């Protein structure tokens, strides 16, 4: 650990408003996939999810698991292979097609009648359905409730001004006795505009605290060489478990 790095007990940055007007359009997110600017994708899956998977699943079977802003997350196949039903939403059709191709899964596609121009991609096995649309259009599909939500690269990617709307949608999707696992990032937001955006614990409590118990399971040093180009010198990832109050 060199002198620049800061301990895991770092105080969260006090100015939570500094990124509030930052906006990325859906087209800009789609361009990231086209231009292969997808360093956020983790080919080996998320190590904190792997570590806490038993806590998350609690030995239950046949769960409905939701992946907001899913990209081509390999973890979707982890859950499907364990017999769970996986539903994701992703704006990039390219990302969705790459998921099925890279996981060697055959699939079909059909229009989403409630959302003009949108599609849903379904694995031939029937236990993975990925909706290609804006997450803010998703409530029109009557997608149902979920037992589990894995939110990695989702809340931190939502424009800060849209977080309340996003949280309301997430809250509407929670079934009884849900487990909502969420990863957020902590860094100095005056040095990097995002995304991924800085999300302090106070923001999670503001968005979800009325209906959820919020527990930080773990925080880890996530700083890599590539993050130097962001202008930051520390980056921590925090894993939160949200449960029914």
90 is in an annotated binding site: yes
Every domain of the chain and the residues it spans? 26-35+42-244
Peptide bond into 5 cis (omega under 30): no
- Quick one: pLDDT at residue 26? 76
Q: Are 85 and 97 in contact (CB under 8 A)?
A: no
75 is in an annotated binding site: no
40 is in an annotated binding site: yes
The sign one gets for the Cα dihedral 9, 42, 99, 59 is negative
pLDDT range class, residue 6, cuts 50, 70, 90: very low
118 is in an annotated binding site: no
152 is in an annotated binding site: yes
In three state form, how does the secondary structure of the chain look? CCCCCCCCCCCCCCCCCCCCCCCCCHHHHHHHHHCCCCCCCCCCCCHHHHHCHHHHHCCCCCCEEEECCCCCCCHHHHHHHCCCEEEEEECCHHHHHHHHHHCCCCEEEEECCCCCCCEEEEECCCCEEEEECCHHHHHHHCCCCEEEEEECCCCCCCCHHHHHHHHHHHHHCEEEEEEEEEEEEECCCCCCCCCCCECCHHHHHHHHCCCEEEEEEEEEECCCHHHHHHCCCCCEEEEEEEEEC
37 is in an annotated binding site: yes
Angle value at C-alpha 88, between 85 and 36, nearest 5 degrees: 135
C-alpha distances (whole Å) from 126 to each of 60, 129, 146, 149 are: 19, 7, 17, 19
201 is in an annotated binding site: no
38 is in an annotated binding site: yes
- Quick one: pLDDT at residue 63? 98
- Quick one: pLDDT at residue 22? 84
Least confident of 35-39, 62-66, 142-146: 35-39
141 is in an annotated binding site: no
33 is in an annotated binding site: yes
- Quick one: pLDDT at residue 40? 63
123 is in an annotated binding site: no
149 is in an annotated binding site: no
Burial, 84: exposed, middle or buried (Cβ in 10 Å; 0-12, 13-18, 19+)?
buried
34 is in an annotated binding site: yes
Name, in order, each residue with C-beta under 8 angstroms of 136's C-beta and a sequence gap of 6 or more: 162, 165, 166, 169
Query: At the fourth CATH level, which superfamily is domain 26-35+42-244?
Result: Vaccinia Virus protein VP39 (3.40.50.150)
39 is in an annotated binding site: yes
d(CA 133, CA 46): 24
220 is in an annotated binding site: no
The pLDDT tens digits of the residues spanning 94-119 come to: 999 999 999 999 999 999 999 999 99
Mean pLDDT, residues 72-81 taken together: 96
């Amino acid at each position: 650990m060199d002198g620049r790095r800061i301990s895991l007990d770092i105080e969260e940055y006090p100015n939570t408003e500094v990124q509030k007007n930052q906006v990325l359009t859906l087209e800009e997110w789609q361009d990231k996939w086209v231009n292969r600017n997808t360093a956020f994708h983790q080919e080996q899956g998320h190590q904190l999810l792997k570590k806490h998977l038993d806590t998350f699943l609690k030995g239950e079977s046949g769960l409905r698991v939701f992946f907001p802003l899913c990209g081509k997350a390999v973890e979707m196949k982890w859950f499907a292979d364990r017999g769970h039903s996986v539903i994701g939403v992703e704006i990039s059709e390219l990302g969705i097609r790459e998921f099925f191709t890279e996981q060697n899964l055959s699939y079909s596609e059909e229009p989403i009648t409630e959302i003009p121009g949108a599609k849903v991609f379904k694995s031939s096995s029937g236990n993975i359905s990925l909706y290609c649309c804006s997450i803010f259009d998703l409530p029109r599909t009557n997608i149902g409730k979920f037992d589990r939500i894995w939110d990695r690269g989702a809340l931190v990617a939502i424009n800060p001004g849209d977080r309340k709307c996003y949280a309301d949608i997430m809250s509407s999707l929670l079934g009884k006795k849900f487990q909502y696992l969420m990863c957020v990032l902590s860094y100095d937001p005056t040095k990097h505009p995002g995304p991924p955006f800085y999300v302090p614990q106070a923001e999670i409590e503001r968005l979800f605290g009325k209906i959820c118990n919020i527990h930080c399971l773990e925080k880890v040093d996530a700083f890599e060489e590539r993050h130097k180009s962001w202008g930051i010198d520390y980056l921590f990832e925090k894993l939160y478990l949200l449960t029914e109050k």
